Amino acid sequence: MLTLLKLLQDGRFHSGQEIGDALCISRSAVWKQMRRLEAEFGVRLSRVRGRGYKLTNPLALLADLTLHERGLPDIWPFYIYESLDSTNAEAARLLTAGVEPPFLVLAERQTAGRGRRGRVWQSPFGVNVYLSLVIRVQKGARQLEGLSLVVGLAVMQALRASGLGEAGLKWPNDILVQGKKIAGVLLELTGDPADVCDVVVGVGVNVNMESESGIEQPWTSMRLELQHLIDRNDLVCALSRHLHGYLARHAELGFAAFQDEWESSHLWQGREVVLIAGTQRIEGLVLGVDHVGALRLSVNGVEQRYSGGEISLRLCDDHRA
């Protein structure tokens, strides 16, 4: 199937004879392969008599050779999969199998992609970036402080460098454009957080997705914002360069070195919000973040600080709050 998708990814018509030759099958078997392609990968095909078949929407598939040519191995080793349950889960399996960090896991599709608070991360085939980076933390809790916020900064800067100058942050792990989510971060740890541990840094970016019915919050994608097909190979390399630089600086200096930069990019700075932690709802004014990345809220005129993976933040005028 991947051979067929690579042939069709340009969005141009390809004749049944051309497709049959590429797959070493008869022209009569091509139609069955097309039906299977639509069923298994969720792509849409157009067929015109005398011209052949084409993808209704072109794809930009990840390519091992292209990523090598663009220098990704110079940053860290990487693994590409056609389909995974989740890149974070595969990263954990590779760690268990003895693969040494740092390394990167990429997939064309996730069948069980995860977001924060147990939410499903919609992961259709071939349109977005699903990426997990594994790093080893050897300086204990200090090197973990504000780590997810620094990853968010790196992702945001990569998006801005790709043309999305309005991309900004929402505490703790979301990247938004025009108030709509375009990317998110999920960190998972194994080992001793007080000593040496491995961190799986999961990043999901909506790249070329144009429609998706399963997302329960306002969202957008790079293609919707920029109005052209994005080369996901370029984006993966850009993300990797930004992550490498930000993580190296964070390991040396801690989150305090990024506090001002993070606050200057926080879209909800100075906004009235509702913080939800389990059954607890707290209304306050966003003051910023502290030197370890905790959220600073003014609650009834008193500054309070909040951190933790199960916290959700909403604007006060958001009906979903």
Q: Which residues are catalytic?
A: 116, 181, 314
27 is in an annotated binding site: no
Closest CA to 135 of 93, 97, 106, 103: 103
Q: What is the SS3 assignment for 312?
A: strand
Residue 95 DSSP symbol: H
109 is in an annotated binding site: no
181 is in an annotated binding site: yes
Burial of 280 (0-12, 13-18, 19+ CB in 10 A): exposed
208 is in an annotated binding site: no
Rounded Cα–Cα distance for residues 206 and 174 (Å): 12
Rounded Cα–Cα distance for residues 194 and 196 (Å): 7
* CB-CB contact of 57 with 44 (8 Å): yes
110 is in an annotated binding site: yes
86 is in an annotated binding site: yes
57 is in an annotated binding site: no
The first and second tokens of residue 202, run together, are 């999961």
- Angle at which helices 27-41 and 16-23 pack, to 10 degrees? 80
* CB-CB contact of 160 with 132 (8 Å): no
Rounded Cα–Cα distance for residues 172 and 161 (Å): 21
End-to-end CA distance of the chain: 43
* CB-CB contact of 172 with 295 (8 Å): yes
Rounded Cα–Cα distance for residues 167 and 77 (Å): 28
Residue 100 DSSP symbol: P
Instruction: Report the b/e string of 8-19 with b at 16+ CB within 10 A.
Output: bbeeebbebeeb
Annotated binding site for biotin: 86-88, 110, 114-116, 181
Annotated binding site: 86-88, 110, 114-116, 181
